[in-house]
Structure 1
Amino acid sequence: MVRLKYWFSGYSGPYTYEVFDSSSASVFGVVNANTSTNPEIVTGITGGSYTVVITETASPFCASTSSVVIASPLDALSVVATETSNVSCGNGQGTITAVASGGWGAYEYELTGAATVGYSSNGTFTNLSAGIYTVNVRDAGGCIASDGVTLVIPPPINATVTANTPLLSCFGDTATITASLVTGGQGSNYTYTLNTIAPTASTSGPQTSPVFGNLRAGTYQVVINDGYNCVFTSANIVIDEPTPIQASLVKATSQTCFTGTTLTLSATGGTGTYEYSDSSTFGTVIGTFASSVTFPVTDGTYAYYVRDANGCISNVSNEITIDPLPALIVNLDVTNATINCAGDSTGVIVATAEGGLGSYVYTLQDTAGNDITPAPTQNSPGVFTDLPVGNYQVQVDSGDCLTTSAQISITEPAAPLTAGGAGRARGSSAPTGGSRHPPGVGSPRRLQS
């Protein structure tokens, strides 16, 4: 809108004026005025061609008509101010850009409000903090237009960050951490970074997905960023795991002649009650136990897998082989099981045991199984000396194993040795009776039970 200004001369007093547009239509109707206000200013007129009729309402009652053309730009001056970058979560980084149009051109821009910047040809205002601003634009004709902008600090980013489980089922399993319900900041354009704090510090990302998978036990932290440089850091997220299942196999008791071998299988780690099998597929579950189990076995090789209440399976235990118990036997050396001279007690029986459980105890018996009393001398285990003529057997004890040798007879000459009769040369008597071989000489015999 523009103003029409006109002056009076040669008349003073009251008058009327009426303004007609190019179509001869009255713009305001008849308006009363007085030369006491001179010049008269008519406002509210747009650009165009007008005719003004002035009539004196006092003597001499003259009238005057004038034409006037009011120049105008094609469009009214206007300005649009917009926020072109946010102040960010750190504040002080906002930008307002103003673009003017219409009017007479040659625009100058001014910023007022939370910050003031004087008129210049630059319509971009930077490094602005949060607040209310007005941008004024002035054209070459001195016309001014304005627009307002409010810069706001974005709300802080907030999110819920959780692991799908705080405790893994099995040692070595993995978990997933997800950031959800993300709000604040720019409202979009979020990126996600995973910081591993323990056991070994590392960083993964940034990425646009809020999901981090295949995570082993450890301590983690999720950082969320956006285009406004807003930052959210989650609390530490701890993923625990049970200790690994360790299976151990020991021989609880060794086999004897009357009892079998027993093994004890024990386990640590994992969760809850254990079950065990000789196959990693657990096609057959042999039994269950809380911390250990003892069971009998026969000869063979044994190793077991242990599975806990969560279905976690241990590595195979150590291996134990149970060999067959060797039979207890007695070997006899009867080389000296003879009496050299009738009536002597010089017989020797040597018994040597094999197999069984070791720790052999030798007992000399008669053939009825009665222990010889008093017990004969044993210079070393199994060596019986100073034995008289008779029938014997040797019993061997080895733990709870027991065996008896074959029977042995200690013999002597049929009659005592006597001197020769008449007719022999002196000093050349021939012996009768007694052994044909001196002690230790002869053909040895070896008996085995």
Structure 2
Amino acid sequence: MCRGNNGQITLTASGGTAPYQYSKNNGSTYQPGNQFTNLGAGTYQVILKDANNCVTPAQAFTITQPATLSVVIGKTNVTTCSGATNGSISVTATGGSGSYQYSRDNGATYQTSSTFSDLAAGPYQVVVKDGNNCTTTAQTITITQPAVVTLSLSKTNVTTCFGANTGSISLTASGGTGAYQYSIDNGSNFQPGNQFTNLPAGIYQVVAKDANSCLSTTQSTTISQPSALSATTTATPVSCYSGTNGSISVQVTGGTAPYRYSITDGSSYQTSNQFTGLSAGTYHIIVRDANNCLLDAPTTEVTQPDAVTFSISQTDVACSGGNSGSITVSASGGSGLINTRKTMELLFRPAINFRI
């Protein structure tokens, strides 16, 4: 039976004169029943007497008890991740008698294995019973779990220039267990550092895992970029051959304002988008935005008109003193209408020189 006061002695009487009385304490006290119950371990001196007070010699009966049934919690493993069901409890029983059975729900159910596995975090009431159905006092064992792995975006930097790989992402993890690793491709690849640099613009799925490979919730972050720099130019030609009054105007979109402009292959820049005082020629213009992103504007040509040239033909006066002479001027080059003038009033006179 179980350790404690649950032993019993049952007697069977014969002979003498009924009814009988029974004693378990060497005749100090008697009872009419032939069964003594709720006895503790020990030696009892049993005597029987009949109706005529005839007694039997005392007989010694010894009640033994098993060793105390006890339980030792060998190991309690916490769950590896928050919300996981991979905790376990290992139990070692001693004492009692027969084979043991084990319960983690205060005796509601039992199993023959001394290990409970696939457990969620929480308290468990562990009880052991032996072959006599003797049970231990319930022990409360708690399986703990780590905090949830959480991930926060410390900083996401945009790329400075369109198409550049200058973006970056900084991550910070907390909770979980041990050292963290970080991923920006939804867990396909991890690295121990929480800084990701040299990234192009795009959408990134960031996640962290701890030493137990417990994962944080995936988050989406976007590295943006400025729009592509674009420029158009408008040239104003030189008005006269070999002049220096040509100009170029630059119109820029995209990038990050303000812009600066160079007509000297980047050796110097100006804030104005107008280049003036230019002679005829082909110009290479570079645009630089606030992030030092560069754009080669379309090669721009400042043109000039051809040089003005002319030729003169004359018709002499037919008769001395007459006014039938003439001068013809043929001009080319320049632009627009060509005006001719002479240095003195054109009154036809005999034999006179004109300057055109």
- TM-score (ref. length: structure 2): 0.66
1:298 alignment counterpart: 279
What CA distance in whole angstroms lies between the structure 2 residues aligned with 1:279 and 1:139? 98
2:39 alignment counterpart: 41
Tell me how far 1:232 sits from its aligned partner.
1.6
Q: Residue 277 of structure 1: which of 262, 284, 294 is its match?
A: 262
What CA distance in whole angstroms lies between the structure 2 residues aligned with 1:353 and 1:90? 97
Identity %, equivalent residues: 21
What CA distance in whole angstroms lies between the structure 2 residues aligned with 1:319 and 1:179? 45
What CA distance in whole angstroms lies between the structure 1 residues aligned with 2:208 and 2:202? 20
The answer to whether 1:370 aligns with 2:344 is yes
Q: Residue 353 of structure 1: which of 309, 324, 331 is its match?
A: 331
AA paired with 1:159? Answer: L
Consecutive unaligned residues of structure 1, counting only runs of 5 or more, are 17-32, 44-49, 57-62, 196-202, 374-386, 395-403, 405-449
AA paired with 1:331? Answer: S
Assess if the C-alpha contact under 8 Å between 1:176 and 1:215 holds in 2: yes
Mark the structure with the bigger radius of gyration: 1
Alignment of 1:338-417 (within 5 A): 350-355=328-333, 357-363=334-340, 365=342, 369-370=343-344, 372=346, 391=352, 404=356
| 1:136 aligned counterpart, secondary structure | strand
What CA distance in whole angstroms lies between the structure 1 residues aligned with 2:215 and 2:98? 40
2:297 alignment counterpart: 317
What do you get for the CA RMSD once the two structures are aligned?
A: 4.9
* Distance of aligned partners of 1:276 and 1:34 in 2 relative to their CA distance in 1, 3 Å threshold: farther
| 1:78 aligned counterpart, secondary structure | strand
The answer to whether 1:149 aligns with 2:158 is no
1:32-57 CA distance string (max 9 Å, x none): x85669467335xxxxxx9x697x9x
Q: Residue 270 of structure 2: which of 265, 268, 287 is its match?
A: 287
Tell me how far 1:248 sits from its aligned partner.
4.1
AA paired with 1:262? Answer: S
| 2:40 aligned counterpart, secondary structure | strand
* Distance of aligned partners of 1:330 and 1:391 in 2 relative to their CA distance in 1, 3 Å threshold: farther
1:247-267 CA distance string (max 9 Å, x none): 444323524266522233443
Q: Which has the higher strand share?
A: 1
The answer to whether 1:222 aligns with 2:226 is no
2:110 alignment counterpart: 119
What CA distance in whole angstroms lies between the structure 2 residues aligned with 1:163 and 1:350? 82
| 1:144 aligned counterpart, secondary structure | coil
* Distance of aligned partners of 1:326 and 1:223 in 2 relative to their CA distance in 1, 3 Å threshold: same
Assess if the C-alpha contact under 8 Å between 1:90 and 1:229 holds in 2: no
1:133 alignment counterpart: 124
AA paired with 1:296? Answer: G
1:154-205 CA distance string (max 9 Å, x none): 654433213243x44433352222221422xx4447554435xxxxxxx563
* Distance of aligned partners of 1:392 and 1:127 in 2 relative to their CA distance in 1, 3 Å threshold: farther
* Distance of aligned partners of 1:188 and 1:306 in 2 relative to their CA distance in 1, 3 Å threshold: same
1:252 alignment counterpart: 236
| 2:105 aligned counterpart, secondary structure | strand
What CA distance in whole angstroms lies between the structure 2 residues aligned with 1:333 and 1:157? 100
1:309-340 CA distance string (max 9 Å, x none): 33x13222222344676432212355xx3577
What CA distance in whole angstroms lies between the structure 1 residues aligned with 2:116 and 2:145? 17
Tell me the number of residue pairs that the alignment of Structure 1 and Structure 2 aligns. Answer: 330
What CA distance in whole angstroms lies between the structure 1 residues aligned with 2:244 and 2:181? 71
| 2:198 aligned counterpart, secondary structure | strand
2:184 alignment counterpart: 194
Assess if the C-alpha contact under 8 Å between 1:266 and 1:293 holds in 2: no
Assess if the C-alpha contact under 8 Å between 1:363 and 1:371 holds in 2: no
What CA distance in whole angstroms lies between the structure 1 residues aligned with 2:261 and 2:187? 40
* Distance of aligned partners of 1:361 and 1:309 in 2 relative to their CA distance in 1, 3 Å threshold: same
* Distance of aligned partners of 1:370 and 1:204 in 2 relative to their CA distance in 1, 3 Å threshold: farther
Assess if the C-alpha contact under 8 Å between 1:98 and 1:135 holds in 2: no
1:234-259 CA distance string (max 9 Å, x none): 3x434333334434443235242665
